[in-house]
Structure 1
């Protein structure tokens, strides 16, 4: 099952079947740099004699690094240390947002989406000095950022938890990558593999005491996180329902459908969070309808906003910029014009 979920499909099949593809040409793509390639199937991360054992192992969030160069490991640790050191303390007397963005796949589309999401969310929530982006290449050369791995995400959240006022501040988390019916997928070339299931993500927040959360999960099947992560202090937005794929994840594109709709369109506008989520959901539905004759099945993005979210959201939105920023990259819907005839 896992190999079927993670095998790489042709562009046409990706549009018609798995649908997580982005629009537009690869911005900043270098003719001399080749991003890490997925040349092998997704390996088995769990063993067991029965499905219960497999499910129990997956719930722990397995991660596998294969034959990493020690120089690469040291370099990535130094990048992470530098990024963590740049995070500033919270400001007493006000609700602060800490933005954490992770691109969990080495395909350049996710590196581009993660970087721009970091900029948009940092501006929207006045989080300059409170933002960390973990991601692989954006296509032009090796990444200058810490790798977007489950381990680095956990470490980044732990550092944020040390700096924030947990009673009033909020973590804004954006994830970009592929997903499966068991969780978010980590896939870095042929070297890094893993799963972040809902249970693992919930334990991270609970152990660190991070209760105020704005979570935007851009991946196929990301609706599986709704039952586990929804609570009165959390605003949760997912690119798809628990049993649906999302669209636009071709490596050479600029945006996934949901990333374009939620980040490149809705979150740039000075509108309340709930409206941004609804606007993004409407845009995604309109775009998917354009591909209905190609076999695209609506992804059904999910929204769950807790009853106490306003306690931290209203102060943040009171300081939100009142002007929009221009969109970047080629629109996600150019995937239709770029598709093979």
Structure 2
């Protein structure tokens, strides 16, 4: 937020410190909130890296923070502690879903998408109290959530692994951000930088023994995650092929094309996952055709054992659909 200068003439005439504080505070409250913007280049450690080094950094979960205020680490620690401490334990004999929804970039479109995706997936899969949402601002105010950084993601994943039964329960991951051929990008304004690669995510899931999982990746080039994360107990859905862009990620949007079609529309309805994906992909293709865009070609992989854990979850789905929220992503084709 930009600092708000006081009215010097008013302060001089008033000559009362208390009154001046009230005037300045009122003026500050009237200023609209400005979410973080990407206006500075990444650190030299990233910009001077070779393509091979970039991949190595993404595989290692590299994260760089710079120019943070002294109080940032403590405030972030408290936000993360509250989020992790609120997660409920699993119920013996019940296939519980644990939802982790994360916006890795601070552009508000991702913050809005991750928040609503967390709500939709928690309702659909009976995961209220077993959902963690990580992300930046929704564009209206500073975020009360833990940031969607690689480090916070790894802590959240470890917490879920701690309370779930890997033989019985399911992880549902929704990740949204800008993407690159090496994975999804972490970028918090001008302060936070990094990436998460398919190899890194696969290694984390393997380390925690989480094989029963629904992984939804909303980013350009996100098809790169599908081969590494596929397996007999794994369902993976990406917003694009490994060599294609996805659309709708302008900061002012409420949804990306993929998030709007799949989460905001198809998954709100009491229909099976495969039917929801089919409907969403058809809608995305129609929007891309309307905008004369190069098809994003979303990818999916559904393992042969997925039905065993998906069936009991879908049996508990709400029988009534909820209405989409926010501005339809396809409206961005007409401009703001």
Say yes or no: TM over 0.5: yes
Distance in 1 of aligned mates of 2:77 and 2:52: 35
Q: In the alignment, what sits opposite 2:239?
A: 239
Distance in 1 of aligned mates of 2:47 and 2:136: 29
Question: Are residues 37 and 153 of structure 1, via their aligned partners in 2, closer, same or farther at CA, if it must alter by over 3 Å?
Answer: same
Give the 3-state SS of the residue equivalent to 1:253 in structure 2. coil
Matches within 5 A, 1:305-324: 305-324=302-321
Matches within 5 A, 1:15-164: 32-45=32-45, 52-164=52-164
Range 61-70 or range 85-94, more displaced = 61-70
Equivalent pairs counted in the alignment come to: 307
Distance in 2 of aligned mates of 1:141 and 1:58: 30
Distance in 2 of aligned mates of 1:146 and 1:55: 26
State whether residues 59 and 200 of structure 1, in contact with CA within 8 Å, keep that contact through their aligned partners in structure 2: yes
TM-score by length of 2: 0.88
Residues 44-66 of structure 1: CA deviation (Å, up to 9, x unaligned): 54599965455434322221111
Q: In the alignment, what sits opposite 2:27?
A: none
1:301 and 2:273 matched:
no
Give the 3-state SS of the residue equivalent to 1:132 in structure 2. strand
Question: Are residues 85 and 50 of structure 1, via their aligned partners in 2, closer, same or farther at CA, if it must alter by over 3 Å?
Answer: closer
RMSD: 1.6
- Structure 2 gaps of 5+ residues are 1-29
Q: In the alignment, what sits opposite 2:7?
A: none
Distance in 1 of aligned mates of 2:220 and 2:169: 29
State whether residues 47 and 54 of structure 1, in contact with CA within 8 Å, keep that contact through their aligned partners in structure 2: no
Higher relative contact order by CA 8 Å / sep ≥ 6: 1 or 2?
A: 1
Distance in 2 of aligned mates of 1:287 and 1:49: 37
Give the 3-state SS of the residue equivalent to 1:333 in structure 2. helix
Question: Are residues 109 and 51 of structure 1, via their aligned partners in 2, closer, same or farther at CA, if it must alter by over 3 Å?
Answer: closer
- Structure 1 gaps of 5+ residues are 1-29
Distance in 1 of aligned mates of 2:154 and 2:168: 21
State whether residues 45 and 63 of structure 1, in contact with CA within 8 Å, keep that contact through their aligned partners in structure 2: no
Larger radius of gyration: 2
Matches within 5 A, 1:200-215: 200-215=200-215
